[in-house]
Structure 1
Amino acid sequence: MYLVKPFSLAFLFVLFSLNFTVAQQQPEIIPMPANYQLNPGEFLWDSKVGITLEGFPDQGNYLQQEALRLLNMPLLEIESASKTIVIKKVNDLKPGYKINIQQNSVTIEASNETGAFYGVISLIQLAHAAKEKHGEIALPNWEIQDSPRYAWRGIMLDESRYFFGMEKVKQLLDHMAYYKLNTFHWHLTDAPGWRIEIKSFPNLATVGGIGNQSEPNAPAAYYTQEEIKEIVRYARERMIQVIPEIDMPGHATAANRAYPEHSGGGSEKYPDFTFHPAKETTYAYLSQILHEVDALFPSNMMHLGGDEVSFGNQMWPKDPDVLKLMAKESLTGMKDVEDYFFERMADTLFRLNNKVLAWDEMATANLPRDKTIIFWWRHDKREQLSLSLKNGYPTVVCPRIPFYFDFLQQEDHKYGRKWAGAFAPLDAVYNFDMDAFGIKKEEEDLILGIQANLWTETVPNEDRFDFLMYPRIAALAEVVWSQKEDQSYPGFMERLAAHLEKYKAEKLYYYDPFDPNHHPEPVYEP
């Protein structure tokens, strides 16, 4: 049957004739699917429903696990079952998935594992929101056809400033999967702490891992390589790629604490902030680190930072080795030195068959367009977005306003950040509009997608983590998945209510936009 858009007159006529409420006129799914139609009747999901796999056994297994974990509903392969959930491979289906719910069957169709997984997620969300009748989950007979707006749908977590550990990261990955987000950008190194084991240079973790944003002598905290592998495996099972960030040439204080011979100096406020840009031993050292990191992450992408170097490069103009480098390479200023450093380290990644990712300061560097991704983060510098696109770089959009989730959510909150009075409430996240930036038609394909970043200067514990992440993660998901014409903030808020109940059941300390006093803002005292 042809699937119509939600504003189709024929579709609305059917719904109103059946006397459904407004909430029932759209599937209880976040992010909102592209096409859907509600048919009469319902599928009653009980413990006798079986599962039939005509492809995608891993996704079938995931559905079984999540049905038991989230719905307390066993789902077994029973040949004689009178009602079944079928997961089917259909080779000629476009990217995405289809769901067809009928009285005695639920069919999920997809052409690849990713599509099948997202079909499973949509079914789980529908079941979460459905009414229970005598131990049965009553699923309305929806037909849904769906695919994402953007390929890059990301969350960045900074664990240098505060370390959260494997179980919290896995919980975040679970929620990313639930909202069809597919890229976990993992900020593992920065000035306060180095959080990844490097066997060639063990002091990076055992010495560089000491301390956090508020306690410089806190015991070393870091991920072993075995823990990294487990998180990568866990993410892959949920169709999420993990991209590490090893920050350079700035934000290097923790690394320089472990191996001071590679320090390029810093400033009074940011001591030992940079790696040395003119020592061959430093390039060899960092290259060895990147080789080890590359072996742990199969994404073939690595973020090298490249931002805010001017915070701590004050020693460079006085360093004889830097001056010799500038003369040799015809570098005219510190930004040229910075770009030279970055281009050399990018070459290491290219030889490892990696793409290099960088913050928007590197839009000026001479990097190959087919191997580089720029992250536009400075919302007050739109010219950097324009420059990135003009120079032909594929670009991920993650401006501070509204996608830095450490920013305040409402005016009277005290412990997050503002920028010139601006902050990041739920509606600002949801109503973000790429069309407002005047991107040229020929540059639209360079926009890979959107990402939210949780920097943790003000996030010392899990309560603040939850409060800042949920439910803004849901708003992000709809912005980056659903077509702009299918987005409606009132409709999103209607669907969000059921998700807050899920957060409550999981004991998350979430922000409640319907009742801001439900969970008071957690105090942050540096």
Structure 2
Amino acid sequence: MKKLLLSFFVGISMAVSAQQSCPVIPLPADFKEVAGSFELSERSTIVFDQPNLAPLAHYLQKELLKHKNLSLNIGQKKSASTISLKISTKKTAGTEAYELDMKPEAITISAHDHNGLFNGVSTFLQLVRQSATSSLSCWKITDAPKYAWRGMMLDESRYFFGKEKVKQLMDWMAFYKLNRFHWHLTDQPGWRIDIKKYPKLTLIGGIGNYFNPFAPAKYYSQDDINEIVQYAAERYIQVIPEIDMPGHATAANMAYPEYSGGGSEKHPEFTFNPGKEATYQYLTNILKETDVLFPSQMIHIGGDEVAFGNKKWNNDPDVQQLMKTKGLKDLKAVEYYFIKRMADSIAKINNKMLAWDEVAEAELESKNTIVFWWRHDRPNTLKTALHKGYAVVICPRIPLYFDFVQDASDVSGRRWSAGEYSPIEKVYAFSPGQIVETAGHEKQIMGIQANLWTETVNSNQRLDYLLFPRISALAEAAWTADVKKDFSDFQLRLKNHLEQFKAAGIYYYNNKKTNPEPIPKKLSVSYLD
């Protein structure tokens, strides 16, 4: 397998698929190359048929200037060599579907909704960017996604990257039609979101990271967050914040210890205290400020791995009184009581609550809850979530945790118990339909998501190395119908993308002779799971 991958990444020729492919990732549903070419030049004009399409027209204009150094005019009337953005009256293709009709004299991108139109623009821009000249081969493409949720999660509690790197990630997400950015902003090592009502969360909780507990405080101001959310919206990406609770609360508890429920020797001050009424008001206030910053109307609360640090609840008088008053028989019941309380708070601010799969047994309202199935070794948890009616995002460790290594020779990164890891071909081949527990529950599967935890990431270079080109495979796994997928064909299409990564300064995974693995100095990593 290693030999096969290396031969691919160094560009050794391989057999071309018998069926002609379309040079786009993710592969469209239906496509045909047609005669002729479109000459893209500064005489070309971008036109649109509705005033509210102006922002998308300006986005296309900026991208063409950035990548082709062409400054196109935006107009309202069609002329020769136009690129038309059009909202179609067709309703048969489904949400986010689009059509791209390229002819020598004109290009039309049409869709029933704005999200679909953006997807069409993304496909067009891919064709533009990989063309060596401004003469574009003409294609007729009709396309729609397999899943509505095509996500990427980034952990910035353990290592803070800053808004320019986050924006760069969003650029590539838009390039690949990934549309959900799950932002892990709080955890044990650091608190990264400015909450005005509780300034010590960032002033104290923002100090340190996984590699250095004394690193200066780093966090996103509310102005930073507004800027990033707006940047994402221009790329039709929804941003979902994660405020971890009741576990993984160490950074917050360093700032406001009065709300701590204790922890363990290995994981000090790991939990919020579920026995104090003040804890719920404190966290609700935080969620209210978070809601104002993020218009997605979704907040992820974590909810995972609480048992690794909740033993002090057994001796906490407030928790014991809660158990007696509410008839809670054990600590798991206390955990579920806490989750329900926070679910109620989130519902009152008109948000859906998102959480990891530990909440599947918590008896939450299914209409207001999205469960993220991550524990690939616990398929029964997925079965429970689906049978209880929850919508589910599929993001199993193998193969969708991008902190797992991608080659047997990798030094730094995760492997599972028998040494399993996540090479690009596993990411590409993954489909929720392969999991027997999903049978009969297909409508509850919102989509898939890759998660990048940063215990072994302490630089932009390392982040790139773990993300690229696996993000390309993720995009096709999330978008393209299983029957259309072919890894050999994908490899051929990816060659041009590797060149684009290189041109953009992305330190992507490649032949290790040219791109050695960036290895962080701190190699001793402890994973709770």
- Please indicate the TM-score interval, normalised by the length of the shorter structure: over 0.9
Write out per-residue CA displacement over residues 23-80 of structure 1, whole angstroms, 9 at most, x where no aligned residue. 9922211100001111222212223222222232221111111011112222213668
Write out per-residue CA displacement over residues 172-210 of structure 1, whole angstroms, 9 at most, x where no aligned residue. 111101000000000000000000111111000100000
Give the C-alpha shift of residue 115 in structure 1: 1.1
Q: 2:73 aligns to what SS in structure 1?
A: coil
Q: 1:328 aligns to what SS in structure 2?
A: helix
| Residues 1:509 and 2:507 are matched in the alignment | yes
| Residues 1:147 and 2:148 are matched in the alignment | no
Matches within 5 A, 1:252-263: 252-263=249-260
| Residues 1:352 and 2:344 are matched in the alignment | no
Write out per-residue CA displacement over residues 304-359 of structure 1, whole angstroms, 9 at most, x where no aligned residue. 00001111111011112211211211111111111111111111001001100010
The equivalent of 1:212 in structure 2 is 209
Check the 8 A contact 1:27/1:126 in 2, yes or no.
no
Matches within 5 A, 1:449-464: 449-464=447-462
Check the 8 A contact 2:47/2:78 in 1, yes or no.
no
Write out per-residue CA displacement over residues 114-137 of structure 1, whole angstroms, 9 at most, x where no aligned residue. 1111111100101122242xxxx2
Tell me, in whole angstroms, the C-alpha distance in 1 between the residues paired with 2:281 and 2:115: 39
Check the 8 A contact 2:17/2:488 in 1, yes or no.
no
Matches within 5 A, 1:478-497: 478-497=476-495
Tell me, in whole angstroms, the C-alpha distance in 1 between the residues paired with 2:308 and 2:439: 36
Check the 8 A contact 2:379/2:437 in 1, yes or no.
no
Write out per-residue CA displacement over residues 156-183 of structure 1, whole angstroms, 9 at most, x where no aligned residue. 0100000011101100111101000000
Tell me, in whole angstroms, the C-alpha distance in 2 between the residues paired with 1:516 and 1:110: 43
The equivalent of 2:117 in structure 1 is 116
Q: 1:459 aligns to what SS in structure 2?
A: coil
Amino acid at match of 2:28: P
Tell me, in whole angstroms, the C-alpha distance in 2 between the residues paired with 1:153 and 1:23: 29
The equivalent of 2:408 in structure 1 is 411
Tell me, in whole angstroms, the C-alpha distance in 2 between the residues paired with 1:58 and 1:432: 35
The equivalent of 2:496 in structure 1 is 498
Give the C-alpha shift of residue 110 in structure 1: 1.2
Check the 8 A contact 2:382/2:437 in 1, yes or no.
no
Tell me, in whole angstroms, the C-alpha distance in 2 between the residues paired with 1:317 and 1:415: 38
The equivalent of 1:519 in structure 2 is 515
Match of 1:44 among 14, 39, 44: 39
Q: 1:268 aligns to what SS in structure 2?
A: coil
Q: Using the TM superposition, name which of 207-216 and 322-331 deviates more.
A: 322-331
Matches within 5 A, 1:427-446: 427-439=425-437, 441-446=439-444
Write out per-residue CA displacement over residues 384-428 of structure 1, whole angstroms, 9 at most, x where no aligned residue. 111110111100000000100011010000111101101111001
Amino acid at match of 2:514: H
Tell me, in whole angstroms, the C-alpha distance in 1 between the residues paired with 2:307 and 2:320: 17
Relative distance call for 1:158 and 1:440 in structure 2 (3 A) is closer
Check the 8 A contact 2:57/2:74 in 1, yes or no.
no
Tell me, in whole angstroms, the C-alpha distance in 2 between the residues paired with 1:238 and 1:23: 35
**TM-score normalised to structure 1 length:** 0.93
Amino acid at match of 2:358: E
Give the C-alpha shift of residue 103 in structure 1: 1.3
Q: 1:442 aligns to what SS in structure 2?
A: coil
The equivalent of 1:14 in structure 2 is none
Relative distance call for 1:397 and 1:67 in structure 2 (3 A) is same
Amino acid at match of 2:508: Y
Tell me, in whole angstroms, the C-alpha distance in 2 between the residues paired with 1:214 and 1:70: 37
Give the C-alpha shift of residue 433 in structure 1: 2.6
Amino acid at match of 1:456: T
Write out per-residue CA displacement over residues 447-488 of structure 1, whole angstroms, 9 at most, x where no aligned residue. 000000010011011000000011111100000011111111
Amino acid at match of 1:40: A
| Residues 1:33 and 2:28 are matched in the alignment | yes
The equivalent of 2:59 in structure 1 is 62
The equivalent of 1:89 in structure 2 is 87
Write out per-residue CA displacement over residues 264-312 of structure 1, whole angstroms, 9 at most, x where no aligned residue. 0000000000000100111111111111111111111100000011111
**TM-score normalised to structure 2 length:** 0.92
Q: 2:288 aligns to what SS in structure 1?
A: helix
Relative distance call for 1:519 and 1:23 in structure 2 (3 A) is farther
Match of 1:369 among 358, 366, 370: 366
Tell me, in whole angstroms, the C-alpha distance in 2 between the residues paired with 1:407 and 1:48: 48
Amino acid at match of 1:174: D
The equivalent of 2:72 in structure 1 is 75
Q: 2:135 aligns to what SS in structure 1?
A: strand
Tell me, in whole angstroms, the C-alpha distance in 2 between the residues paired with 1:84 and 1:418: 51
Tell me, in whole angstroms, the C-alpha distance in 2 between the residues paired with 1:312 and 1:243: 26
Off by >4 Å, runs of 4+ in structure 1: 21-24, 78-81
The equivalent of 1:4 in structure 2 is none
The equivalent of 2:472 in structure 1 is 474
Check the 8 A contact 1:192/1:253 in 2, yes or no.
yes
Q: Which runs of 5+ in 2 are unaligned?
A: 1-15, 523-529
Check the 8 A contact 2:383/2:438 in 1, yes or no.
no
Tell me, in whole angstroms, the C-alpha distance in 2 between the residues paired with 1:67 and 1:24: 31
Check the 8 A contact 2:146/2:480 in 1, yes or no.
yes
Tell me, in whole angstroms, the C-alpha distance in 2 between the residues paired with 1:25 and 1:103: 21
Amino acid at match of 2:245: M
Q: 2:296 aligns to what SS in structure 1?
A: coil
Give the C-alpha shift of residue 440 in structure 1: 5.1
Give the C-alpha shift of residue 138 in structure 1: 2.2
Q: Which runs of 5+ in 1 are unaligned?
A: 1-20
The equivalent of 1:9 in structure 2 is none
Q: Using the TM superposition, name which of 408-417 and 95-104 deviates more.
A: 95-104
Check the 8 A contact 1:48/1:81 in 2, yes or no.
no
The equivalent of 2:4 in structure 1 is none
Tell me, in whole angstroms, the C-alpha distance in 1 between the residues paired with 2:197 and 2:223: 15
Amino acid at match of 2:113: N
Check the 8 A contact 1:256/1:263 in 2, yes or no.
yes
Tell me, in whole angstroms, the C-alpha distance in 2 between the residues paired with 1:469 and 1:80: 41
The equivalent of 2:8 in structure 1 is none
Check the 8 A contact 1:23/1:494 in 2, yes or no.
no
The equivalent of 1:332 in structure 2 is 329
| CA root-mean-square deviation | 1.4
| Residues 1:126 and 2:127 are matched in the alignment | yes
Q: 1:370 aligns to what SS in structure 2?
A: helix
Relative distance call for 1:42 and 1:22 in structure 2 (3 A) is farther
Check the 8 A contact 1:25/1:38 in 2, yes or no.
no
Write out per-residue CA displacement over residues 232-269 of structure 1, whole angstroms, 9 at most, x where no aligned residue. 11101100000000000000000000000111000000
Tell me, in whole angstroms, the C-alpha distance in 2 between the residues paired with 1:67 and 1:490: 30
The equivalent of 1:15 in structure 2 is none
